[in-house]
Every structure is written in structure tokens, then in C-alpha cells.
Chains A and B, each alone.
Chain A
């Protein structure tokens, strides 16, 4: 483990930025924190987490896949790929680091999504332990420890110091560049922080939430639960929950007619939208109830069924904070899950 003083973090950022594009959480003009490209003057935010999740780095909301240009009878295919530069994302919370594993299982399974794979290969994740979880946090429900975040390098921040531990080869290579700016240290301060956080975790309002009653094989039991009517009755179908979620992974591929050719692009899709997975015969989910149910069944039943019991939610709490009607996965789990009350 190595450390540096909090005051010297700007030099650390500068050093990292010499080798690769660096993104850190910084406060935006509206006060919310977002991952911002570091350059001299960009200040590390104190916020617990960013409004938009870091999935943007690997699975952006919008990306051009390729372009076609037509000239007479010829079609030229243009490679527009750009995901080939090294970058570093600093300050990723434990919940969000876990979300990458959930996305990996989708995009890196055969057939591998080469756009996603390239970004993953070029990205280095520096995680950050939480010191002040929010009432909306329930990472613990999914076995995530906010004081022990994964990633290529794990970071802990105290009032005066910042501690680093590299976990992977990529992380070790980057730490080497920071040798002159950091010094070897014991784990005492970090251990003390971990203990403090584990006490906080027990006090969180959602500490008792469990995944009991969910998981693979529960489709029959849960699909026709009458509670879906009540849970979905005031859902606006806006899709905010899916767009702020670090683990929502659905996308659409479309062609944009430029007049002289076609741009083929991919963008996030939302199961909450009326034309989601629309087919030639029409749509297979015609009511908002069916669309709403899809979101939660996917996270709590279908995904674990196909992925060795891993749930597709990391308890980051973004949907709790951002849904206009304050309906969310916690309310669903409490209503229809085993012994959650």
C-alpha cells in the first residue's frame, strides 16, 4: 500500500494525465458531480457519486458503429471506430465497479462486442472507498463492500491523506508512474476506515434488504404476481431509471440517413419505452405494467438465471434518487420478495 497527502492529489492527477486521458468526478455548474476530463483546474468532487454512471465509458449512450457512403452504384464502408485510446477513470465507487462485471458478462460473452471489449481493454479503473454512504445505498444487499472497492487500483481517502493499493497488472503499471509522488505505508488508517464504514452499513435504512425470493427459476412464481399492477400504476414510462442505472444494458442499432449515405449508430434503449423490442407484428409488451415488470424481472430473475445467480443491480441507489415518482427496485423487492418488510 502507498499513500500521498490529500493536498498533493493535483500532482497525482497531472502525472496520470501525462500517460492517458484521465476522468475524475467534478462538480458541474448545477452542483451535481459528473466524470470530467481532468486538466489543470478541474477539482475532485466531494460528492458520494456521479449522477450518470461510469458505464458511459464502456457503453456510451450513443456511438457510431460505421458509415456507408454511396456514389453511383458503389457503397463505401467507412470504419468510424475511435475506442482505441488509453484512458483512466478515477473515483469509481464499489457499486459501480461491480456493475462492470455485470456488463462484461453481457458484452464479453460470445459473440464478443468488440466496441465494448476495446474500451474495456484500454480503460484503467481507479476505485474509491465510500466514507459517507447515502440512505439510498444498498450495495450490501448484493454483497458489495463499499470500503473494499475492486478495480485496477483501490483508493481510500481520509481527511488528510489518500491511500493506494494496486490489484491488477494494469494497476501496478500505473502505480509505478506514481512512485515519486507516493510513499510506502502501513494499512492502519485504511483498516480503521473500513471498520467505521462497516458500522455505518449496519445502520443504513436499507441494511436489512435481502434478495430472498428472487433469482433464477422464479419466473413462474413472480411473473403473474398481482402486485405488479399496484407497483406500476403511476409509472410514467419515462426511462430515467434505465438511463441512470449502471447495469441497464439494452441498446438499439439504427441507421441515420445523411442524404449522401448512412450512419449506423447504437444508442441505449429502455424497456420502459413503448417501442422497445418492437417487431414486425407489433409489440409484445403493450402496457406500462408489462414494461415496468420487464425491468425488474430482468434484474432480479432473468439475468441471475443466465449468469450463475449474479443479480443485475448493484444497489447504487440512482433510481431511488432520480425516479420522478419515486418508484424503484427497493419498493419492488419489498413488495414481492420473500421476507422483506
Chain B
């Protein structure tokens, strides 16, 4: 259901490689199954034609890879950015995490990405082929004679259901049509949690976080987590980085992760996408974003390069810390 085609993206990449603008292309690489996509670096037209994919399963956000990949090349690397990816791109630039000169960014429109878990919830295991066609996704399984037709909008990834923007905030060149910032319902779920009693809220997070296996995928996929050495990977820190040692440490990791990205998290949704235990990390992030919006006025991390985030800026209009106390009865 993507409006831009794989062929258009390959043509663009090949022409930029051939005219010498870029020396490598960061793109989605073909896997074993039709929904299986691995971020890959392509260097030639042949590689692109054989292995580049663009379909409803290209959710992976490449911005963070630019930190490592731009360090390794002489010339420029081409990166395709969906609207939400451009916010991460800007945020990384704001934090001086990669060299803008080494990147050629092509903005591409996105109609929303599918979540394979949601697809499997409809058609079961044993997928042998997937064809994205218009509003429908045709899923062929080993167990059904006819393909199962799934409505693309019914299997959208959470972050795409609550898409915040179809507009690109960074690019050198744009393919296809530009979109608008979207009025999303992304804070509704947070509001529901805020409305819980403290005990209910504790039970909610206890249930979610107790599933954590501390694989650290949420941190490692996060474009806001780019410290050279994470504090949790310091063996002298006294906390375990690879096991939820007890229920205190289990929560501590999450609280620190969420606090560390507060004000910098663009709500790209990578953390929740990669979590093997389906923990809704985006809800923690969105709580911070919602609070920042309410306390300091609307702020979207990554909307522009170099913006002063409210948490690292002081204005005389800032709310007093006591506000937290005043809000206690609202459970917020």
C-alpha cells in the first residue's frame, strides 16, 4: 500500500551512486520471508537490484546507523527517511552525533507500516508469501489454499496507528508528495494510565515490566540512546546490565532509560517495535512528552535542528517544581 515503489527508490539510489553523489546506500535488505527485512549497506546497482526491498514491513528507522556508518566512509552515504525517521535524524544532528556533510537524505512518503505480529494474529503461523496490494495485504500460508486477505489498516504497527506526522522535517531531496503534521490520538493511552489509582498504575507497570528480559534491544535500537558506553554497561556501576536482578532493578532500568531520553525522544517507536516481550515502552516516553507539553508548551523533539529542549532550557515562565505537588490529586 506504499505509494512510492521499490523501483523508484532503486532508480534514485542507482543514479546517485552513478553520478558520484554518494558512495553507499543504507537501505532495507531482502530476507528469507516477504516480511523479513534487514538494514543493509548497498554499494552497487547490482546489489540494489538483487537485495533492496521497500514494502509494508520497512519499519526500521535508519537514523541511528548514521552515527556508525558516516564514521566509516570518505564520501556520502544515501539514507531513505520516512517522515518519522526525519525527526530522529534532526535530533541526532542537534546532539552533534553525525556529520551532516556525509549524508544525502532522501525523504520518502509512508502510508504506515505493518506489524507482522498483528498479521499472524489473523492468519496464523506458516506464512509462505505476502503481497502488498492497495489497501489489502494478501497472505499465503502453508495451511490455506487461498491467500488470506488482510486489511492493511487493521495490521498497522502501533506507532503508525498513532502516526504524529506525515511531514518530513529534514531531507536533501523529497520523493513523492509531502504530507502534514497529523493530529494523533497518541496520548489517549497515557491519559488512561494517569486516570488510574496509584495502586492500579503500579500493578499495570509491574505486569508490563516484569516481563523484561534485559536484552537491551530497546536501548540499542533507540536513536536517542547513542552514548559510546551506556552507564548500564559499566561493570563498576553496581547494577546488572543483563538480567533483571530483582524487581527494583527491573524498574530502575526502565525509569533511567525513560528519564534519559526525556525531552529528546521523538516518539519514533523503535523501542516498542523491537521489544521481544511486547512491553509498551512508548507509553513511558509519551508520558514525558505529554508532561513537557503541558508544563512548558508544545514541544516536539527533532522538529528542528538546534532547538533548545524545555528540560535543558530555562525561561522565567517555567512552572514551579511545586506544581507536581499541586497535581497530585489529579493522579497525573
A residues near B, CB below 8 A? Answer: 28-32, 48, 51-52, 61-62, 132-136, 200, 203-206, 230, 233-234, 236-240, 243-244, 252, 254, 256-257, 265, 267-270, 273-275, 278, 320, 322, 324-327, 330-331
CA distance A48 to B127 in the complex (A): 13
Please tell me if the beta carbons of B221 and A236 are within 8 angstroms of each other in the complex: yes
Please tell me if the beta carbons of A239 and B215 are within 8 angstroms of each other in the complex: yes
Is the CB of B258 closer than 8 A to any CB of chain A? no
Chain A residue, CB-CB nearest to B229: A274
Question: Could you write out 13 A-B pairs with CB less than 8 Å apart?
Answer: A61-B244, A133-B125, A133-B126, A234-B65, A239-B215, A244-B213, A256-B245, A268-B242, A269-B242, A273-B242, A275-B235, A325-B60, A330-B32
CA distance A206 to B317 in the complex (A): 62
Please tell me if the beta carbons of A320 and B213 are within 8 angstroms of each other in the complex: no
Please tell me if the beta carbons of A31 and B240 are within 8 angstroms of each other in the complex: no
Q: Which 7 A-B residue pairings sit nearest by Cβ, starting from the closest?
A: A324-B274, A267-B243, A134-B125, A30-B278, A238-B217, A236-B220, A238-B220
* Number of A-B residue pairs at CB separation under 8 A: 124
Please tell me if the beta carbons of B126 and A325 are within 8 angstroms of each other in the complex: no
- Is the contact region of chain A dominated by helix, strand, or loop, or is it mixed? loop
Please tell me if the beta carbons of A28 and B211 are within 8 angstroms of each other in the complex: yes
Is the CB of B307 closer than 8 A to any CB of chain A? no
Chain A residue, CB-CB nearest to B35: A326
Please tell me if the beta carbons of A234 and B40 are within 8 angstroms of each other in the complex: yes
B residues near A, CB below 8 A? Answer: 31-33, 36-41, 60, 65, 117, 121, 124-128, 142-143, 207, 211, 213-217, 219-221, 229, 233, 235, 238, 240-245, 273-274, 276-279
CA distance A234 to B31 in the complex (A): 14
User: Within 8 Å CB of B217, what residues of A?
Assistant: 236, 238-240, 324
Please tell me if the beta carbons of A135 and B128 are within 8 angstroms of each other in the complex: yes
User: Within 8 Å CB of B128, what residues of A?
Assistant: 135, 203, 205
- Is the contact region of chain B dominated by helix, strand, or loop, or is it mixed? loop
Chain B residue, CB-CB nearest to A46: B124
Chain B residue, CB-CB nearest to A52: B213
Chain B residue, CB-CB nearest to A322: B276
Interface centre among B233, B238, B277 (most CB of A within 10 A): B277
Taking A205-B32, A239-B215, A326-B31 as contacts, is the C-beta distance between A51 and B276 under 8 angstroms?
yes
Please tell me if the beta carbons of A61 and B207 are within 8 angstroms of each other in the complex: no
User: Within 8 Å CB of A205, what residues of B?
Assistant: 32-33, 128
B324 CB → nearest A CB, Å: 30
CA distance A309 to B274 in the complex (A): 34
Interface centre among B213, B233, B279 (most CB of A within 10 A): B213
User: Within 8 Å CB of B274, what residues of A?
Assistant: 238, 240, 324
Please tell me if the beta carbons of A267 and B245 are within 8 angstroms of each other in the complex: yes
CA distance A204 to B32 in the complex (A): 12
Chain B residue, CB-CB nearest to A203: B142
